[in-house]
Chain A
Amino acid sequence: MKLKKLTALLLAGIMALSLTACGKSDAPAEKKDETPVESSEPAADDVQEPADENNDDQTAAADLSGELVVWTLANDLISFADKFMETYPDVKVETIVIAPEDYPTKLQSALLGGETEPDIIVGEPQMLGNWYEAGFFEDLNQAPYNAQDYADQIVDYIWKIGQDENGIQRAISYQITPVAVYYRRDIAKDVFGTDDPDEVGKLFADYTTILDTGYKLKDAGYRIFASDAEPGFFSGDSAWVIDGKLNVDQDRYDYMDLVTELYNNDLTAFASQWAAPWYQAMSGPVPILTAETQWGTDEMNIWDADSFAAATEGADTAEVFAFVLPSWGVLTMRDNVGDNAGKYGVCAGPSYQYNGGTFIGISAQSERKELSWEFIKFCTLSEETADWWIEYSQGDTVSLISALEKHKDDTNEIYGGQKLYQFFLGQAEHIDFSKITKYDKAINDAWGAAITAVKQGDKSKEDAVAEFYDVVSATYPELTIER
């Protein structure tokens, strides 16, 4: 009996708890409609001259104080936060870096739990849609922020991604991320007789040309890409979902054919993207293993690095011609090209695309919104910060137009003195921001699975595509699918 009573009592308590918890989880959604009470008064000075943010920073410098908590998924904002604290010594910023695969789980549980920290939250483009909808991000168009006044200072596609469905500004990225081809100038000269970015860009003009380029490189003993996933950044002419309908455009099929041919004709070095051999291919030759070649000799000791290196010296190796990466790839390459520094060049690919970018916003539940807005302005809208970041990061591409124009003649020695800011600004102007949907991750995975099945010969193209439709309809029953 005692046990029963106890259990009943506990259950009752739990029910009560669950009710409060349920009530709480709705909080962020409701909150977004109210104007934040605290934030309206103290930042009044900023409102009067929002366009002239340089001036603004200086006047504000003396009186900014308080604490901020930033949650992010890469360590770049740590540097920004340090710089911010250096500029405003009375401000303390705590930056928490969370591994990207865990970031959504952690952020969602905190905000749904009604936490007032973090103050600053970030998101990558594919995460933003859901979070705008959930009301996680503060409306930046309202006073005192009036973000709309800054619209023409930031590269257009970045500005648009920071807006929700109703065009309300909710987040801003300090970075632009157009995708480009990073190629080896020396190999280009050797095989194609030119290393000029415009000319080399023509070698990547469309998928047929890419294949052509791939064969020519293979005949000369090189490989066009390290992995066959590489050109994936360029695929897709239109969004996966348009008006609730699954949309598979012709470019997706063409891309499938491209990958299949790259794979089956040994045109790539068969590394996995982001795995060790892939990075290794940036700095020098990688061993090429085909059916005919045998590895090393019988005497080699696989556990001893020196003997291993000596034994595999005779094995076939090849150098990789190109890597496809967004503009932040400049930094990846910087860290991995080794002795090949200066031998790379950057050119355009078959289409204008972007990938990634850290969009910074204010949590709708933050209690320190004015200071948060100062931080966002500092990271994204201040030319001084942009100058510093360009210098500090050795080549990251900012989104502030005035900074990009100021640095348009900067040269980057890793890329043979190429003027990268000019190049990326030019690329960014063509980008269509609207291709991203909240369905992308799952649909991309399903399409990737279909491509793998086709290229390995596990399934016919028809079967693989039919399977793809099945997977999408099982994942998103609400989508209309026309086969």
Chain B
Amino acid sequence: MAGTQAVKPATPKRRNINNVAYLFIIPFVVVFCIFSLYPVIRTLYLSFTNYKGYGDAVGVGISNYVRVFQDKYFWQAFLNTCNIWIVNIVLQLGLAFLLTIVFSDMKYRIRGLSIFRAVFYLPNLISCASVSFLFKTLLDWKYGTFNQILMNMNLISQPVNWLGTPTVTPYVVSVINAWMWFGNSFIMLMAGVQGIPKDYFEAAAIDGAGRWKIFGKITLPLLKPIMIYVAITSLIGGLQMFDMPHLMSQGNAAIHDGCLNTMVMYLYKFGFTVNQVGYASAIAYVLFLIILVVSVAQFFIMNRKED
């Protein structure tokens, strides 16, 4: 908060100083235009063609876009994605937040932050393929260890088909995804807390402010820019969810193309499996529009809260 207001050195003398910024951003802008902008513009062009991934790309106007909006399976994929993502994000951010509160608490002074932080981050280090392989084995219907444990503890009387039941499987993926990423969110939030000068907390503690008051009045407002980042990247990452549901349902078409079918999986199907690159490009742009609308809405909601 203090930072946002401080950016006002716009006296006439300073103009030449501000021009330094152009030099600073040149490397970024050049590389960005070549390696990010160009491929994306090309995709935009392809989305108006019937390009198959080879051969000629014949223009077809907006018909690919019309098709996306009429394709009920795309919208089903949209709902699936939201369904998986919402449960995931509540668990992931909720846990990360609780941990941040615990570790930034002045009274308990929990030790071992660096060790816990490293350990919580561990699941994020393993590649998604290994994690999926592991959980597929653990959660196997008739042969998985997880069901064996639950049955031994008499918690269930019949094995649960964790990865083959439309009402259960999406949430299993949510939980695994949250398990993989909560450490990451925690580190982000913690880095933000550590950026706050310690004297703020000490001063508040001397003034006799309680734990929740410190959290509400100091930590939370100062964390806001980081929180916006974490929330928006989680949203963007969530709506682009692909690896985990794709890998977890490989070999089970009913789940893969059913309750676990996310928007990017749908895009991938058309881009790489059935060779309709033009249509896949249109899906990509519709997906992008959806993310844009949702993020802007989220950004405004989070920004307004403070005022």
Contact = CB atoms under 8 A, between A and B. Distances in A.
In the complex, A touching B (Cβ < 8 A): yes
Interface of A: 2-3, 6-7, 10-11, 14, 17-18, 21-22, 25-26, 28-29, 104-105, 108, 111-112, 130, 133-136, 269-277, 286-287, 289, 291, 294-296, 298, 300, 302, 438-439, 441-442, 444-446, 448-453, 456, 458, 470-471, 474-477
Contacts of B207: none
A2 to B, nearest CB: 6
A452 B253 contact: yes
A150 B199 CA distance: 86
B280 to A, nearest CB: 12
A130 B142 CA distance: 39
18 contacts: A3-B22, A10-B29, A14-B37, A22-B57, A104-B272, A269-B142, A270-B141, A271-B142, A272-B252, A286-B143, A289-B142, A445-B256, A446-B253, A450-B254, A452-B253, A453-B258, A456-B164, A470-B73
B253 A302 contact: no
B148 interface: yes
Nearest to A442: B274
B22 A2 contact: yes
Given A296-B148, A442-B274, A456-B164, A10 B257 contact: no
B157 A6 contact: no
Interface in B256-275: 256-258, 269-270, 272-275
Nearest to B146: A302
Contact of A302 (B67, B145, B252): B145
Closest 6 CB pairs of A and B: A452-B254, A134-B54, A448-B253, A449-B254, A445-B253, A10-B33
Residue from B55, B67, B140, B159 having most chain A Cβ neighbours under 10 A:
B55
B13 interface: no
Interface of B: 22, 26, 29-30, 33-34, 37-38, 41-42, 45, 52-57, 67, 71-73, 136-137, 140-143, 145, 148-149, 151-152, 157-159, 164, 166, 251-258, 269-270, 272-275
Contacts, number: 133
B170 to A, nearest CB: 14
A205 B97 CA distance: 62
Residue from B148, B164, B254, B257 having most chain A Cβ neighbours under 10 A:
B254
A134 B141 contact: no
Given A7-B33, A17-B38, A471 B54 contact: no
> Interface majority SS on B: helix, strand, loop or mixed?
helix
B278 to A, nearest CB: 12
Contact of B152 (A295, A474, A475): A295
A472 to B, nearest CB: 11
Contacts of A275: 136-137, 140, 251
Contacts of A453: 254, 258
Given A18-B42, A287-B143, A445 B22 contact: no
Given A446-B257, A449-B257, 16 more contacts: A2-B22, A10-B30, A14-B33, A25-B54, A28-B54, A29-B56, A108-B54, A112-B53, A135-B55, A296-B148, A439-B274, A445-B257, A449-B258, A456-B254, A470-B72, A470-B73
A185 to B, nearest CB: 26
Given A270-B142, A449-B258, A300 B55 contact: no
B152 A302 contact: yes
Nearest to B37: A14
A240 to B, nearest CB: 13
Contacts of A276: 137, 143
Contacts of A17: 38
Given A28-B54, A133-B55, A474-B71, A448 B254 contact: yes
B73 A471 contact: yes
Contacts of B54: 25, 28-29, 108, 111-112, 130, 133-136
B151 A295 contact: yes
A453 to B, nearest CB: 6
Contacts of A25: 54
A277 B29 contact: no
A294 B258 CA distance: 32
B128 to A, nearest CB: 14
A441 B42 CA distance: 28
A291 B158 contact: yes
A298 B154 CA distance: 10
Nearest to A2: B22
A317 to B, nearest CB: 12
A142 to B, nearest CB: 21
Nearest to A312: B148
A15 to B, nearest CB: 9
Contacts of A14: 33-34, 37-38, 41
A134 B55 contact: yes
A439 to B, nearest CB: 8
B148 A302 contact: yes
Contact of B251 (A21, A104, A269, A273): A273
B209 to A, nearest CB: 46
A441 B253 CA distance: 11
B152 A300 contact: yes
A135 B254 CA distance: 34
B67 A272 contact: no
A181 B249 CA distance: 27
Contacts of A104: 272
Contacts of A439: 274
A11 B53 contact: no
A441 B257 CA distance: 12
Contacts of B34: 10, 14
A295 to B, nearest CB: 5
